[in-house]
């Protein structure tokens, strides 16, 4: 299996791979799940989600041997707290971001019109100028999803609270502001294309207050 590694900087890495197999037992070979992971899997009926869930664990076992994922209110973290982690999956791809600072990762398959068709749900009036085509809609979507994962603030609205201020297709960067209950946070993102996906990554070493 090919694993794509993207070095953001010395301390922040992204790892992307296809779902490891269409058979769960093949992915489980050599993989030991925690009781929590087995419990999550037992409650999941969607085949694609199950394969993505297992593939994330398989990918982590390869790029960071011995690391384990747990959850706090649905938010993933490494049990040994050695680094921060963000995970994402779409269609037949999964991804992990590992960093010494707070990090958010999102991946989106760009082969369908789904995100473009629902753009009114996450695009505000000031961002309409950026939406030139389906690709732009997916970039804005993944950028906002990555920020949402980074902030970890309940009730944060992609449309109303996360505002994309600039969008540079040449440099593949975005600048965004998060405004929520008196909080104002400036963030910078990188995005990439790999296969039929767009990948957005945001990181910050700033303290993020939990509103």
Write out pLDDT tens, residues 149-182.
Answer: 999 998 999 999 999 999 888 999 999 999 998 8
Q: How many CB atoms lie within 10 A of CB 60?
A: 22
User: Mind listing the pLDDT tens digit for each residue in 79-132?
Assistant: 999 999 999 999 999 999 999 999 999 999 999 899 999 999 999 999 999 888
Looking at the chain, the whole-number percentage of residues with pLDDT higher than 70 is: 98
What value does the mean pLDDT of the chain take?
94
Cα four-point dihedral sign 64, 93, 201, 198: positive
Sheet strands (E) in the chain: 3-9, 12-18, 69-72, 75-78, 84-90, 93-99, 102-109, 162-168, 173-180, 183-194, 197-204
Confidence of residue 210 (pLDDT cuts 50, 70, 90): low
Please give the pLDDT value at position 169: 86
Is the pLDDT assigned to residue 208 strictly greater than 80? no
The answer, yes or no, to whether residue 12 has pLDDT greater than 90, is yes
**Looking at residue 211, what is its pLDDT?**
52
CA distances to 36, 91, 181 from 197, rounded to whole Å, are 30, 9, 33
> pLDDT exceeding 90 applies to what percent of the chain?
86
């Amino acid at each position: 299996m090919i694993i794509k590694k993207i070095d953001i900087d010395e301390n922040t890495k992204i790892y992307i791979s296809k779902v490891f197999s269409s058979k769960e037992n093949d992915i489980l070979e050599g993989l030991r799940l925690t009781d929590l992971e087995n419990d999550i899997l037992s409650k999941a009926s969607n085949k694609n989600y199950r394969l993505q869930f297992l593939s994330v664990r398989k990918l982590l076992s390869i790029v960071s041997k011995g690391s384990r994922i747990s959850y706090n209110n649905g938010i993933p973290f490494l049990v040994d707290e050695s680094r921060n982690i963000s995970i994402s999956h779409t269609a037949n791809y999964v991804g992990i971001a590992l960093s010494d600072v707070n990090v958010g990762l999102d991946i989106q398959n760009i082969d369908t019109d789904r995100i473009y068709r629902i753009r009114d749900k996450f695009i505000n009036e000031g961002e309409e100028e950026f939406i030139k085509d389906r690709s732009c809609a997916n970039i804005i979507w993944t950028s906002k999803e990555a920020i949402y994962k980074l902030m970890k603030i309940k009730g944060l609205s992609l449309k109303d609270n996360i505002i994309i201020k600039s969008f540079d297709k040449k440099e593949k960067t975005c600048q965004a502001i998060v405004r929520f209950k008196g909080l104002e946070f400036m963030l910078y993102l990188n995005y990439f294309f790999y296969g039929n996906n767009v990948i957005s990554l945001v990181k910050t070493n700033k303290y993020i207050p939990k509103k």
